[in-house]
Amino acid sequence: MMRNGVLLALIRSESRSTERFHSSWSSKEIRNKADIAVRPQFNFRGLQMNSECLLLTGASGLVGRMLIPVLQKHYPERTIVALVRQPEQAARLEMQGIQTVFGDLARPRLGLSPSEYARLAISVTEILHVAASVRFDLSLEKSRVVNVEGVREILLLAESCAGLRKFGHVSTTFVNGYREGVFDEEPMAPGQEFINPYQQTKFEAEGLVLEAMGHLPAAIYRIPVLLADSEDGVVSQFGYFHHLLRMLPDSILPVMPGDPDVLADMVPADWAAASLAYLFDFRFTEASIRHLCAGVQRSMRLGDMMARVSGAIGRHPS
């Protein structure tokens, strides 16, 4: 019997009663991201030493891009500093009022000079770590460079920040691996099999954050598959599910593998970003794990989803 590759999760209620997610698996993600060259350079200006300062990683990614306007709306006076690797990224972010610092999660001390590192340690009061390597085709060793060692480096910086009030780590519901069943918003027990290095390295990264919770005000946020924007339906970044759908019109993929009765937990990307920003800014709880998911009541059967997709393809064959 084929295992099914869609995740089910319950988002925790405001009463903070324990909620859980169920998962099973079937297919591989085929989305890739190009490696980006490092150009270390210190580039944030006008930061007051006594101001609130949020260090954001992954600001140019799907979730990061959607987070920025929400975070700015929550606290307009807060300085947001983004760790970036390309001048083009810095230019776009600075047009949005974001300060930037050039660095690399894959390098010791984030590739920063001693003065840059010290300035961040003095200034940063919050860290939201969103960046990750989401390529499923990397070796375990290469995937660990950003997803594990990068987390280790950002945690070392967090430990150096004397005024740090909160540290948020964005993870994934995929940390359950091949396990099927229901899972609480709590540390994932070891021993599961993993489909790919991405899942394993995100699980290992959670372990580092959990260990750091003993001396850092840290929280973990697990996100499932992200779909289109809830307002206009635009897909800003294609994932494995989107690529599978693209194969259907030309019959490249004659069947969709999976149990039609399995519930597919997928959420709009803008909803996930807004929920993450809300929990981080207004409901932050030290040593907590939160699931930003649709849940059993709001998830769609895989069979129903594919019927809708087939209908849409029939109405728009081009």
Instruction: Provide the pLDDT for residue 238.
Output: 63
Helix ranges, 102-219 (H): 114-123, 140-147, 149-160, 197-212
Span 154-212, pLDDT tens digits: 999 999 999 999 999 999 998 999 887 778 899 999 999 999 999 999 999 999 999 99
Of the CATH numbers 3.40.50.80, 3.30.565.60, 3.40.50.720, 3.40.50.970, which one belongs to the domain with range 20-28+37-315?
A: 3.40.50.720
Q: Which residues in the chain come in under a pLDDT of 50?
A: 1-44
What distance in Å separates the CA atoms of residue 159 and residue 281, rounded to the nearest whole number?
Answer: 20
The pTM of this model reads 0.80
pLDDT for the residue 79: 97
Query: What are the residue boundaries of the structural domains of the chain, listed by start?
Result: 20-28+37-315
Q: Are the beta carbons of 147 and 208 closer than 8 angstroms?
A: no
Phi-psi group of 177: left, alpha or beta (phi > 0 → left; psi -120 to 50 → alpha; rest → beta): left
pLDDT score, position 222: 97
Segment 14-37, tens digit of pLDDT: 333 333 333 332 222 222 323 323
User: Residues 6 or more apart from 296 whose CB is under 8 A from it?
Assistant: 8, 10, 22, 263
